[in-house]
Structure 1
């Protein structure tokens, strides 16, 4: 049962992330997210990185509270959120934005589709007219770009 709670939380985080990215990061907290779209400088840390802390706080609180309640479901929800955050960091910061230079030359269609969708998101420098706000779910048209090349 605990594994199901973790897996369900991880999957639900994609929808939550899409909403937060579209309506919060490209909305009232654009002041923190703007530098992520502005590529005129390439600092090691961006204001956008505060979102890692913002999203870690509820996960830590849930794990702490759940651990004090005999490791109830709150703990496992916190684990699911944390695993999603770790996945986000690996795919977004390491793979897509190459903060660490690994997986640069992948030929994996799924990873290439994620990278393409994210580039499509970043073509808009302002907070309006954005697209591709998700993270792990990629619109089918980006998959087709890479699968059709193989034919």
Structure 2
């Protein structure tokens, strides 16, 4: 396969993975897979949560495509597609786990309109702690935060987490 064709296949795979991730998040994680994903909508008590198993589950197609394309003589495009799936996973980890949820220490402050928008959209997704009633299922493409807030208000804030109470004596207003 010509390297330019492979590169285009790689980039197209990354773009298509946003749709796959949206569908998996909306209809699997907030559907029959809620038993694992529920842990992600609750405060984490350790380094890991049950939802982390999804990273391993979603890595399987990438590993198989890379193995098949590199070692098993499958169509060469499988290598580029597998690499695209892996690249999307790395982007997802960097954005979701590192930047939004701070699972690794960082000093990054989102300044661009795009980064502020997707970070805020993801945080609005997490104000709902129930399986249903959630907004914004994408990771790299997200609706405007104003639209998400309006949708939460239209749903009468069903499932929205109560504000955290300030510790006694902290001086913070309740």
Instruction: Report the counterpart of residue 9 of structure 1 in structure 2.
Output: 13
Question: 1:97 aligned to 2:117?
Answer: no
How far the C-alpha of 1:42 sits from its partner, in A, is 3.0
**1:27 partner SS:** coil
Instruction: Report the counterpart of residue 19 of structure 1 in structure 2.
Output: 23
Q: Taking structure 2 as the reference length, what is the TM-score of the superposition?
A: 0.77
Structure 1 unmatched ranges of 5 or more: 145-151
Distance in 2, Cα, partners of 1:116 & 1:48: 21
Instruction: Give the one of 67, 77, 88 matched to 1:64.
Output: 67
**1:102 partner SS:** coil
Higher helix share: 1
CA contact (8 A) 2:68 2:74 kept: no
Q: Taking structure 1 as the reference length, what is the TM-score of the superposition?
A: 0.88
Question: 1:125 aligned to 2:123?
Answer: no
Distance in 2, Cα, partners of 1:95 & 1:86: 12
Instruction: Report the counterpart of residue 78 of structure 2 in structure 1.
Output: 74
Instruction: Report the counterpart of residue 46 of structure 1 in structure 2.
Output: 49
Distance in 1, Cα, partners of 2:33 & 2:59: 17
**1:51 partner SS:** helix
Number of aligned residue pairs: give it. Answer: 142
Question: 1:134 aligned to 2:114?
Answer: no
CA contact (8 A) 1:94 1:102 kept: yes
